[in-house]
Amino acid sequence: MDELAKVRLDDCVKKSWPVATVYIGEGQKRVLERPYGRVDVEKMKQKIRAQCEATGKVKVSSGLASSVEHKDSSSIMTFTANGEKDSSQVEAKAIVDATGHALGFVDFTEGHAPGIQAAYGMEITVPSHPWPVGEMLLMDFRAEHMKGSDKEKKDADEVPLFFYVMPMSDTRIFVEETSLIGRPAVDFDYLKEQCYKRLAYHNVQVEEVHEEEFCYIPMGGGMPLLNQRVIGYGGSAGLVHPATGYMFGNAVNRADEVGEALVNALNDGNLSGAEVSTRVWKQIWSDARLLQRDFLVFGGETILRMKLHELQYFFDAFFKLPWEQWTQFLSFGLIRPEERLVFGLGVFLRASNEVRFKLVFEAIARGQLTLLKSVIPNPFRRN
Are residues 211 and 355 located together in one domain of the fold?
no
Asked if residue 83 has pLDDT above 90, the reply is: no
Structural domain ending residue among the three candidates 190, 219, 248: 219
**Do 235 and 103 share a structural domain?**
yes
- pLDDT tens for 299-309 read 999 999 999 99
Print the domain residue range for 363. 93-110+222-375
Transcribe 204-231 into DSSP letters.
----EEEEEEEEEEEESS--B-TT-SSE
Tens of pLDDT, residues 114-150: 999 999 999 999 999 999 999 999 999 999 888 888 8
Co-location of 194 and 326 in the same domain: no
Indicate the residue among 219, 241, 274 that finishes a domain: 219
pLDDT-derived band of residue 228, with 50, 70 and 90 as boundaries?
A: very high
| In-domain check, residue 160 | yes
Residues 209 and 268 in one domain: no
User: How much is the pLDDT for 383?
Assistant: 53
| Percent of the chain residues topping a pLDDT of 90 | 75
Per-residue pLDDT tens digits for 356-376: 999 999 999 988 899 999 999
Any domain includes 241: yes
Q: Residues 5-9: contacts with CB within 8 Å, 24+ apart?
A: 6/253, 7/252, 7/253, 7/255, 7/256, 9/44, 9/47, 9/252
H helices present in the chain, as ranges: 2-6, 41-54, 150-158, 188-201, 248-267, 273-284, 287-304, 308-318, 323-330, 337-350, 353-362, 368-375
- Decide if 123 contacts 130 (C-beta within 8 A): no
Asked whether residue 152 falls in the same domain as residue 301, the answer is: no
Give yes or no for residue 82 having a pLDDT over 90: no
Give me the mean pLDDT over the 72-86 stretch: 79
Residue type for 156, please? A
**Are 200 and 235 in a shared domain?**
no
**pTM higher than the cut 0.85:** yes
* SS3 (DSSP) at 16: strand
Task: Quick: pLDDT tens for 236-265.
Answer: 999 999 999 999 889 999 999 999 999 999
Q: CATH number of the domain that 30 lies in?
A: 3.30.9.10
On whether both 245 and 342 belong to a single domain, the answer is: yes
| Among 219, 239, 264, residue at a domain's last position | 219
Q: What is the pLDDT of residue 84?
A: 62
